[in-house]
Structure 1
Amino acid sequence: MEEPLWPPGTFLGRLRSATRERLLSVGVRRSVKEAQVLLREGALESHVILLDDALVKVTVALSDGRHALLAIRVSGDIVGEISALNGTPRTATVTACRPSVIRIIHQNTFRAVLRDNPEAALEVAGIVADRLRWANRRRTDFTSYPVRVRLARVLWEIAVAYGRRGPRGVVIDIRLTQDELATLCGAAEISLQKALGGLRADGIVATGYREIVIRDSDALRSIAGLLKDVS
């Protein structure tokens, strides 16, 4: 059977084959349904989850009862590593966006693998650093750019990481509500709706059931002030 190709920026994608297979072998394989909660914010648990064939969203509860979207994770990513490393309660809720396959690794097993495989330990540290850098950049975007630019940047980052090319353009077929997209952009939902409507009116994006299509990549990249293309 041909080995899956993990995206290079994901945890599994960064590892050598032997280390990756070791981690997969110690994980308990589970199938989960769309909308199933995998990790719950505040829970006192310490296992980690490898996303074998999965798409999930990471959210946190706000004081007004809403939920803010922090991140999207895909096949090859790891979630829950912070609680496994320091024993603290879950800092966010992780929910499946589609039927998925995951592997559950208990805390002691995960720590043992990291001790025996320094490469894996270094990659976990690198992933934590990348996520902190992303969060810092998002805070800068909140204060430095108007909503239209912030939305363009968020859509571009998601497209680069998780989009797929199709005849209509780059398709982001991740189920995101406008409220979730607004919180990811650090904007009020009504402001997000106005910015998204402007991108639609300009022919830059199209929206449909559970998807956003980037029809004009160059224009979106220009609005975002970015240069990187979707591979």
Structure 2
Amino acid sequence: MIAVDVDTATWAPGTYLHRLAPQACDNLRTMTPRRRAESGDVLISQGAMERHVILLHGGISKITALTSDGVESLLAIRVGGDLIGEMSALNDLPRSATATACTPLVYSVIRRSQLQVFLEQQPGAALALAGMVADRLRWANQFRVDFTAYPAKVRVARVLVKMAVAYGRRTPTGLEIGFELTQSELASLCGAAEVTVQKSLRDFRRAGSIITGYRTVTVIDLDGLQQAAEL
């Protein structure tokens, strides 16, 4: 069962639903029936000729893409309130990435024609969509800057800080990143070798900034990790 009450959820800043006016948010959330997916279910496949978008009501999904040599690269994490698949809906090209459920989640499928009518009737929603796309482009550009300007350990710290702040779940210990994250996925997200990520995590543990479990990371000293991230 999904632990999120999707009718009273507070949408994370930066998500599409958070950007919408209350009435537009309600209209979009009730446009189509909700569906459920289990962890590991694929919502969108790279290369597919599809034009619908997916609205996440609750849960977490990861966005991945296969490189030319067949290596899977983690591009982003999406949470409740996020819209997925907007690129193909807007530019009529094949899916550029795969979206996979990291946790049980609730979502709805919105056809491109439905989205177009919604945006025509809600000019503010169209501006919100443009803002969301711009922010994702800005994030991608910042990632490229970080990749060239900072050493790998700093990039690992930056990714951990961003995920803890955006998706962390408050526990008695600290901010637990609320989804399974393998070291190889973390490596692809911050553009570092897996052995470098392992060493960085070990250093952060010794410094008392994080604790790690099976595919989990809990940030126990956010200030210390931010210093390591040079933020």
Which range, TM-score by smaller chain?
Answer: over 0.9
Mapped partners of 1:92, 1:27: distance in 2: 23
Query: Alpha-carbon deviation of 1:28?
Result: 2.9
Query: Alpha-carbon deviation of 1:16?
Result: 1.1
Does 2:80 align with 1:80? Answer: no
Give 2:135's aligned amino acid.
D
TM-score calculated relative to the size of structure 2: 0.94
Does 2:29 align with 1:47? Answer: no
Does 2:84 align with 1:105? Answer: no
Partner of 2:157: 152
> Paired residue for 2:229, among 220, 224, 229?
224
Mapped partners of 2:33, 2:88: distance in 1: 18
Q: 5+ residue gaps in structure 1? A: 227-231
Task: Tell me the secondary structure at the aligned position of residue 114 of structure 1.
Answer: helix
- RMSD of aligned Cα (Å): 1.3
Mapped partners of 1:28, 1:8: distance in 2: 24
Task: Tell me the secondary structure at the aligned position of residue 195 of structure 1.
Answer: helix
Give 2:175's aligned amino acid.
V
Correspondences of 1:7-156 after superposition (within 5 Å): 7-156=12-161
Correspondences of 1:131-210 after superposition (within 5 Å): 131-210=136-215
Partner of 1:229: none
Query: Alpha-carbon deviation of 1:209?
Result: 2.2
Q: 5+ residue gaps in structure 2? A: none
Task: Tell me the secondary structure at the aligned position of residue 27 of structure 1.
Answer: coil
Give 1:223's aligned amino acid.
A
Query: Alpha-carbon deviation of 1:19?
Result: 0.4
In the alignment of these two chains, the number of paired residues is 226
Indicate if the aligned counterparts of 2:183 and 2:215 stay in contact, CA closer than 8 A: no
Query: Alpha-carbon deviation of 1:3?
Result: 3.3
Give 1:62's aligned amino acid.
T
